[in-house]
Amino acid sequence: MLVLVFNVGSSSLKFGVFRIDGEAREVLKGSYERFRDGGCEVRIRHAGTEERRTAECDGVAASIAEVPATLDRFGLGSLEAVGHRVAHGGSLFAAPVILDEATIARIETLTPLAPLHNPANLEAIALSRRLWPEIPQVAVFDTSFHLSNPPFATTYAVPKAWREAGLRRYGFHGTSHKYVAARAAEEIGMGLADLRIASVHLGNGASICAVNRGVSMDSSMGMTPLEGLVMGTRSGDVDPGAFGHLSRQLGLSIAEIEDALYSRSGLKGLAGSADMRDLEDAAARGDADAQLAIEVYAYRARKYIGAYAAAMGGLDAIVFTGGIGENSPAMRRRILDGLEFMGVRLDHERNQAADLSGQAAPQIQAYGSRVRVLVTETAEQLMIARETAMAVAGPKPSTGRVPVAVSGRHVHLSGAAADTLFGPGYVLTPQTPLRQPGHWAARERVAVEGPKGRLDHVAILGPLRPRTQVEISRTDSFALGIDVPVRDSGKLDGTPSVTLVGPAGTVKTEGLILAARHIHTNPADAARLGLEDGEHVDVHVGDDSRGLTFARTLVRIGADSFTEMHIDTDEANAAGIGATTDGEIVVGATATIRPGHR
């Protein structure tokens, strides 16, 4: 499949053509930049050749109009889909969407959230649909990846009426963060689900994303792409009190303040140029403004990395991308110097020599650094092409049904914990066999205690395990008074501790989790259901009245596993189901990357 991707910025049009046959390969890359009266700079790369020229196009519309002839010239006229990067999808678009009149109208409703960005994207969509009316066109949103952010990360502490009017944090650069986090995990050789990554995108726009075990947990950009880091021309974080002050002291209107924060702030506001190369040169010549700008830029980024390490309860990798992240070893070093206390140590030679050609993602941490540091080119257009192809292919039809079991709160005990709770050498009594072969519920029970309250008669599931694990619902977590993370079973590092009380003693143990919903299955059933180990699928559960689709359900294949989906009591209540029911698997709807896929 041949896919054209458009990426429209405020002063540039970038586009790429990708051939997708399992893997996605870029076959042509083009850009129209530095629009000014009567002209712009064009760059086209194809099959190892590069063409540079100036053209008469003075804006996005004129540039897009030239694209069909360019594609024809390189024999790439037979497109099958067009993908568009769209800045703001609000809460409406958690995944790419095929563009028709109705979806375009829904995107238009979001213009108030992104008045500078979405209209340019919509203009490109309209032009492109006129040029290629016959082929499907898809919008891929910068915000979608962050819709997994928890409410405590997205909520501004402002009056309810404002929040109801749409004031919340969204986050941007989602396609980039999603790509580089997956690329880093691949390079490190671990599953994304096992890594806490700070993805640091430093381009003209800049943001850091906390990618917590494969899921965006927080992003430095907020309701608009103005919050967070210092950028080329955008301020990043500013005290909102500045609005009143500027209005009273300088008589500025809201529009004037907003314009300055977007277009005349950031590096440009501090040192006169939005281009980090200019600033690095000027700073080296002794320019005090450029020196301060570089220091402010690095300090802000370092603070966010520290904050996100705290948010995720630790940090396994930092990934740099974007024009500055990819090309400025000095800025990478300046940001990371001083983070040694949390296990970040850079290898200065590797940092200096990082070679990103061929989609490389070199690791530049020093030997023995607890946190990995990587650099890689972002490939937003490649991701957009891939997601466009997936959207056009449509969700695969339901591949089958799985039984759903509702797990009440329970614990798995280690041998040491069982000894302490019930007495040395005590053997638990299997009472009820579970459907997973060899697993049972014990006759014995324990109590679980937290600072706020206590859960009595909690079931113990056997056999014993190497580590104690306590699985409760989110509602239970409030009854205990402990903030409990969602985790895959067995992924217990850094989980909160809790007290278990048995007849013979008390155990204080980590391992308290809200179990991530999952499907156990075996190789034969997995093949029948079209499932792969480690992938996430969506599963529709429940009836017409209260049924709902559970996204991101992890597939776990075990040699002898009984095929069954496990959800907790909160999830079951939300879907209005009783103890047992069937779920319908909808593969391909969850916008995640399958393990091993780039």
Q: Is 204 in the site for ligand ADP (CB under 6 A)?
A: yes
* Rounded Cα distance, 549 and 584, in Å: 9
Q: Which of 224, 328, 473, 477 binds ligand ADP (CB under 6 A)?
A: 328
Q: How far apart are CA 535 and CA 595, in angstroms?
A: 7
Q: Are strands 564-568 and 400-407 parallel, antiparallel or unpaired?
A: parallel
Tell me the longest C-alpha to C-alpha distance in the chain.
Answer: 86
How far is residue 353's CA from residue 364's CA, in Å, rounded to a whole number? 9
Counting Cβ atoms within 10 Å, is residue 176 exposed (0-12), middle (13-18) or buried (19+)? buried
Nearest distance from C-beta of residue 389 to ligand ADP, angstroms: 23
Q: Does 277 bind ligand ADP (CB under 6 A)?
A: yes
CA angle 167, 172, 174 (to 5 degrees): 135
Task: Output the smallest distance, CB 180 to ligand ADP, in A.
Answer: 12
Q: Does 80 bind ligand ADP (CB under 6 A)?
A: no
Q: Whose CB is nearest to ligand ADP?
A: 323
Considering the candidates 142, 218, 316, 476, report the single residue annotated as catalytic: 142
Which C-beta is closer to ligand ADP: that of 245 or that of 277? Answer: 277
Q: How many residues bind ligand ADP (CB under 6 A)?
A: 14
Task: Tell whether residue 171 is a contact of ligand ADP (CB under 6 A).
Answer: no
Looking at the Cβ atoms of 325 and 462, the one nearer to ligand ADP is 325
The residue from 275, 289, 340, 582 that contacts ligand ADP (CB under 6 A) is 275
Segment contacting ligand ADP (CB under 6 A): 24-32, 41-49, 150-158, 273-281? 273-281
CB 346 within 8 A of CB 366: yes
With contacts defined by CB under 6 A, name the span among 27-35, 113-121, 275-283, 419-427 that binds ligand ADP: 275-283
Among 16, 222, 232, 450, binds ligand ADP (CB under 6 A): 232
Using CB under 6 A as the binding rule, whether residue 323 contacts ligand ADP is answered as: yes
Catalytic annotation on 476? no
Q: Taking CB under 6 A as the rule, does residue 30 contact ligand ADP?
A: no
Residue 481 carries which DSSP code?
T
The yes or no reply on residue 276 touching ligand ADP (CB under 6 A) is yes
The SS3 of residue 143 is coil
- Residue from 89, 205, 214, 542 in contact with ligand ADP (CB under 6 A): 205
The residue type at 312? M
Token pair 């002291």 is found at 249
The answer for residues whose C-beta is within 8 angstroms of residue 102's C-beta and 6 or more apart is none
Answer whether 198's CB lies under 8 Å from 321's CB: no
Helix (H) or strand (E) holding 258: helix 254-263
Pairing of strands 430-433, 486-487: unpaired
- Residue 66: both structure tokens together: 């030239």
Nearer to ligand ADP, 354 or 586 (CB): 354
Does 34 participate in binding ligand ADP (rule CB under 6 A)?
Answer: no
Pairing of strands 137-141, 548-557: unpaired
> Shortest approach of ligand ADP to residue 203 CB, angstroms?
3
List % helix, strand, coil for the chain (3-state, nearest 5).
35, 30, 35
Nearer to ligand ADP, 224 or 581 (CB): 224
Judged on CB neighbours under 10 Å (0-12, 13-18, 19+), 88 is: buried
Binding mask 282-321 for ligand ADP (x = CB under 6 A): ----------------------------------------
**Site membership for ligand ADP, residue 207 (CB under 6 A):** no
Stretch that binds ligand ADP, among 203-211, 340-348, 449-457, 511-519 (CB under 6 A): 203-211
Q: Which residues bind ligand ADP (CB under 6 A)?
A: 9, 203-205, 232, 275-277, 280, 322-324, 327-328
> Which sequence positions are flagged as catalytic?
142
